[in-house]
């Protein structure tokens, strides 16, 4: 590393050359504390801060985008306002058009809440043109626990004519949905990092996919780390989130991470509730957090029956807190209509 690489002034460049054995790249500079940099380079505190700022800028893959460019729509890489629709008007209204592109969205909930159902539905929605809420591309589905639910995916594909009545049947018939869902299986964190750093970027770079689904993230961290290994657990978690952020922004891709929940007790009424797993560290890595809750109520429509669910917005910079009732039908996840809700009110409506 020399001053030409980092555009340093001669005084700081001379200090860097004195520590050339340890400072060989911008990343090496960032891995050393400011006090240690003063010791090995002989620079003043102000010069060290300038060196750190220059090294950080060199490691950043993209320059910051001013808000005025986003407002004018002059940043094609971020595509401001672009959303991946869910295929349901009720849910899209809750999400203000769908999941944001270039960001990480988390969907948490208990087992059987319908998280995987919604993820599979998104794998089909992403293949529609942008005029119909899609991104005109495929999806990468990374399984960490169970095998990929191929039969359910085929069922959703067959019933697309029912689910997407807003799309001309002639267009649906031309889409080869199953050919554009790329499935990966990772049993541990090492294989996940290999998948995210090697195989997934190839698909994204070729334009074959613009949706990455990770189902689920918590499974890997819960099985690989003990309570005393929290520091290594946090480091690995940040590595995964950093990779996902880079993929989403560099390739203008929607990333959906499915998360499990943990039981929590309320301090006020001592009641039992649920909270997304992985704690505050992971919560700070996602842009939008959604939660699906399954109730004891059932809902009927014709000869189909479904447990009543609730899709809630926990947080999101562009979303208001709220939620909608949903149900999982043969054709997919839909918002509950007023007539369906009247049937459900005759049952117990306690949320699990």
Distance CA 163, CA 172 (A): 11
User: For 12-38, what is each residue's pLDDT tens digit?
Assistant: 888 888 888 888 888 888 888 999 999
Residue among 286, 123, 141, 245 at smallest CA distance from 200:
141
Q: Which residues pair with 288 in a beta bridge?
A: 105
Query: Residue 266 and residue 246: Cα distance in Å, rounded?
Result: 37
Surface-to-core class of residue 96, CB atoms within 10 Å of its CB (0-12 exposed, 13-18 middle, 19+ buried): middle
- The H-assigned helical ranges of 128-207 are 150-158, 160-163, 169-174, 189-194, 200-205
**Given this model, what pLDDT does residue 152 score?**
97
Q: Whole-angstrom distance between the N-terminal and C-terminal Cα of the chain?
A: 57
Contact 151, 225 (CB under 8 A): no
What mean pLDDT comes out for the span 94-105? 94
- What is the Cα–Cα distance from 349 to 298, expressed in whole angstroms? 9
Residues 180-198: pLDDT tens digits?
Answer: 999 999 989 999 999 999 9
Alpha carbon of residue 192 to chain centroid: 15
Question: How much is the pLDDT for 348?
Answer: 39
pLDDT at 344 over 60: no
> What is the distance between the alpha carbons of residues 205 and 119, in angstroms, rounded to a whole number?
22
Please check the confidence at residue 316 and state whether its pLDDT lies above 50.
yes
CA 279-281-282 angle, to 5 degrees, is: 75
- pLDDT bracket for residue 125 (50, 70, 90): very high
DSSP state of 312: E
How far apart CA 219 and CA 157 sit, in angstroms, is 28
- Tokens representing 224 are 């690989």
The architecture in CATH of the region 83-344 reads: 3-Layer(aba) Sandwich (3.40)
Domain extent listing, the chain:
10-59, 83-344
Bridge partners (DSSP) listed for residue 105: 256, 288
């Amino acid at each position: 590393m020399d001053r030409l690489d980092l555009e340093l002034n001669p005084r700081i460049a001379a200090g860097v050359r004195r520590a050339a054995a340890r400072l060989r790249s911008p990343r090496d500079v960032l891995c050393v504390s400011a006090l240690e940099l003063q010791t090995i380079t002989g620079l003043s505190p102000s010069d060290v801060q300038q060196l750190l700022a220059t090294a950080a800028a060199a490691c950043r893959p993209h320059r910051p985008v001013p808000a005025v460019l986003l407002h004018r729509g002059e940043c094609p890489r971020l595509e401001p306002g672009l959303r991946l629709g869910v295929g349901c008007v009720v849910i899209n209204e809750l999400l203000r058009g769908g999941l944001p592109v270039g960001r990480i969205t988390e969907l948490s909930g208990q087992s059987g809440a319908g998280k995987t159902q919604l993820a599979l539905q998104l794998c089909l929605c992403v293949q529609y043109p942008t005029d119909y809420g899609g991104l005109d591309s495929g999806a990468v589905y990374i399984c960490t626990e169970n095998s990929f639910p191929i039969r359910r995916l085929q069922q959703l594909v067959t019933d697309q004519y029912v689910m997407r009545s807003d799309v001309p049947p002639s267009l649906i018939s031309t889409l080869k949905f199953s050919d554009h869902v790329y499935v990966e299986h990772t049993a541990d964190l090492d294989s996940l990092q290999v998948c995210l750093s090697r195989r997934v970027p190839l698909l994204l770079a070729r334009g074959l996919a613009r949706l990455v689904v990770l189902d689920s993230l918590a499974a890997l961290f819960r099985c690989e780390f003990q309570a005393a290994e929290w520091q290594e657990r946090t480091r690995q978690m940040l590595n995964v989130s950093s990779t996902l952020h880079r993929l989403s922004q560099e390739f203008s891709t929607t990333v959906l991470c499915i998360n499990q929940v943990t039981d929590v007790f309320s301090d006020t009424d001592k009641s039992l509730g649920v909270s997304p797993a992985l704690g505050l560290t992971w919560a700070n890595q996602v842009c939008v957090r959604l939660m699906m809750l399954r109730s004891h109520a059932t809902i009927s429509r014709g000869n189909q029956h479904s447990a009543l669910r609730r899709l809630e917005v926990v947080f999101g910079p562009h979303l208001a807190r709220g939620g909608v009732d949903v149900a999982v039908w043969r054709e997919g996840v839909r918002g509950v209509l007023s007539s369906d809700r009247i049937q459900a009110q005759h049952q117990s409506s306690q949320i699990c």
